[in-house]
Amino acid sequence: MKYIDEAIIHVIAGKGGDGVAAFRREKYIPKGGPSGGDGGRGGSIYAVADRNINTLVDYRFARIHRAKNGENGQGSDRYGKGAEDIVLRMPVGTVVTNDATGERVADLVQHDQKILLAKGGTGGLGNLHFKSSTNRTPRQFTLGEPGEEANLKLELKVLADVGLLGMPNAGKSTLIRAVSAARPKVADYPFTTMHPALGVVRVDQNRSFVMADIPGLIEGAAEGAGLGHRFLKHLARTRLLLHVVDIAPLDEAVDPVHEAKAILEELRKYDEVLYRKPRWLVLNKVDLLPENEREKICRKFIRSLGWKDKNFAISAVTGDGCKELTYAIMEFLERESMDENQDLAKFAEPDTSD
């Protein structure tokens, strides 16, 4: 299935049915009075998050979603039937915004989360609502209200705890294959990863986290080189970024330090918030370095890059260092969750100060 992570749709809720002015005309009841019923409500349009869907491809080709109108009221106190609602099932992680105003309408982050996108119109009132002691034969009735209508932009941002960042062929796909059951394409040419891939990394039976791999970023992406910044949005929800670097490029003309700095600069250009996220350095393919020089080469690289945060040297192909990396990630995420819970608990405590 083709991976689609953006779409624009037009939603039109149903119009409410009109009320009606009618009077009872029955034998032996000469003064039957008003009997006009109300119109039915128009159908509304809802979005529901579904974890079994992972692409917006259905909405790329079906752009207009229109709910039915409510039925008009009828005589003999008969009310019009309300129209059925339309439910649009979308992937978990979908952000819905109004395409005209940019206002966020919904952020679907939980399975079965339901959000109203367009409300159906209310049905009109029949003339039976307008009778009174001074108005025995009212002829007033109201029309049904129109339903809401909007152009909506759908944008899928995958939900993952950890995101992989790096140049093409840095070994990101190989790493996610090594530590999870995900099986993205792996080959010895650039841009083998054409869309985000998610993998669940199980540290032990009851501890796991989700890792996301996105297509490689290259220098000049801000100007449209390579796949550009299109997939960087999928790292927006992550809590930790792993900057994967090929420490032993086959092309001797390639400078890993320059490439690493270029990635950081592209990240900063794209989003300052994403740039400030916790980020660890992962030096991959150490198995291609002479064993007696690995530590020296890695130290030199870290010093040249000016890296001061956490770093790891691994080989995704052989698995060396991968276990230690996943355990460190799990501990970091658990510590972050604990800190967040403590902050929430402090916020919820009542203020007893005078």
Residues at the binding site for GTP are: 166-173, 191-195, 213-216, 284-287, 315-317
3-class state of residue 138 by DSSP: coil
d(CA 200, CA 162): 10
CA triple 238-242-246, angle to 5 deg: 150
**Crossing angle for the helix pair 172-179 and 322-348, to the nearest 10 degrees:** 80
Separation between Cα atoms, residue 175 and residue 191, nearest integer Å: 15
User: Is beta strand 240-246 parallel, antiparallel or unpaired with respect to 162-166?
Assistant: parallel
Instruction: State the Cα–Cα distance between residues 12 and 294, nearest whole angstrom.
Output: 62
Strand order in the sheet with 104-107: 64-66, 6-12, 149-156, 94-98, 104-107
Residue positions forming the annotated binding site for Mg(2+): 173, 193
* Sequence ranges of the binding site: 166-173, 191-195, 213-216, 284-287, 315-317
Residue 140: burial class (beta carbons within 10 Å; 0-12, 13-18, 19+):
middle
